Amino acid sequence: GESVGLHLPTLSVQEGDNSIINCAYSNSASDYFIWYKQESGKGPQFIIDIRSNMDKRQGQRVTVLLNKTVKHLSLQIAATQPGDSAVYFCAENSASDYKLSFGAGTTVTVRA
Amino acid sequence: GAGVSQSPSNKVTEKGKDVELRCDPISGHTALYWYRQSLGQGLEFLIYFQGNSAPDKSGLPSDRFSAERTGGSVSTLTIQRTQQEDSAVYLCASSLNYNTEAFFGQGTRLTVV
């Protein structure tokens, strides 16, 4: 069946460095992807999205890359800050499936 | 409203009791989702609404779980005869339509004792 998952459960990053969080998906029909950030005790917060007709999309300090050939999604955070410490989830959706399917999440810890 | 609102924020209930969780989506959003998140885990899909209808109920874990949405707006998730394994954070999200940005509420933390 289809699944969305993240390659690494934890990531430790030095403050000021760039972070890269990876996500693999298996549903070739997936055409819409979202990255969420979840801080302790809060609901997931929308960060950035990308559709399958794009390879890259940039936001403020964040970039999402989509490689449809290998079904891989990544989130890059530039100049990581302590406030970036959180769990990051990727989610995918397809036109034939209503629900957003989530991966297990990657915990990012920023070292001062 | 400005964002997705869920109530109550916390609920402690005795095993066997029924509970009702409420979600107020962002005004104008036709799509509404319910998810469940156990401690330290990912998001488990429960149900999706498009308007007042639920084309996808595939995630409801048992017949003790039900949900409805009225007026294309407020949704309630009802859990009957709660069990300890129902303890989790229940999250609601809404989007303009499916396949568009979905925004989450803060969740309801349910504890069954």
pLDDT grade for A1, boundaries at 50, 70 and 90: very low
Let me know the angle formed at the C-alpha of B69 by A98 and B42, rounded to the nearest 5 degrees. Answer: 50
Compare B103 and A8 and report the one with higher pLDDT: B103
**Residue pLDDT, tens place only, B36-73:** 999 888 899 999 999 999 888 889 999 999 999 988 89
Let me know the angle formed at the C-alpha of B33 by B6 and B10, rounded to the nearest 5 degrees. Answer: 25
Query: What pLDDT, on the 0 to 100 scale, is given for residue A99?
Result: 82
Cα atoms in the Cβ-side hemisphere of radius 13 Å centred on A68? 13
CA distance A61 to chain B (A): 19
**Residue pLDDT, tens place only, A40-97:** 999 999 999 999 999 999 999 999 999 999 999 999 999 999 999 999 999 998 877 7
Query: What pLDDT, on the 0 to 100 scale, is given for residue A3?
Result: 47
Query: Which residue out of B99, B108, B109 would a mutagenesis test of the A interface target, given it has the greatest number of A Cβ atoms within 10 Å?
Result: B99
pLDDT higher than threshold 80 for residue A107: yes
Q: Mean pLDDT across chain B, nearest whole number?
A: 94
For residues B95-103, average pLDDT? 89
Q: Between the CA of residue B86 and those of A75, B5, B20, B38, what are the distances in Å?
A: 32, 21, 13, 9
> By CA distance, what is B47's nearest residue in A?
A99
CA A45 to chain centre: 12
CA distance A16 to chain B (A): 27
Compare A23 and A8 and report the one with higher pLDDT: A23
User: Cβ of A89 and B56 within 8 Å?
Assistant: no
User: Cβ of A42 and B43 within 8 Å?
Assistant: no
Q: Between the CA of residue A26 and those of A21, A58, B33, what are the distances in Å?
A: 17, 24, 22
Cα atoms in the Cβ-side hemisphere of radius 13 Å centred on B61? 15
> By CA distance, what is B44's nearest residue in A?
A102
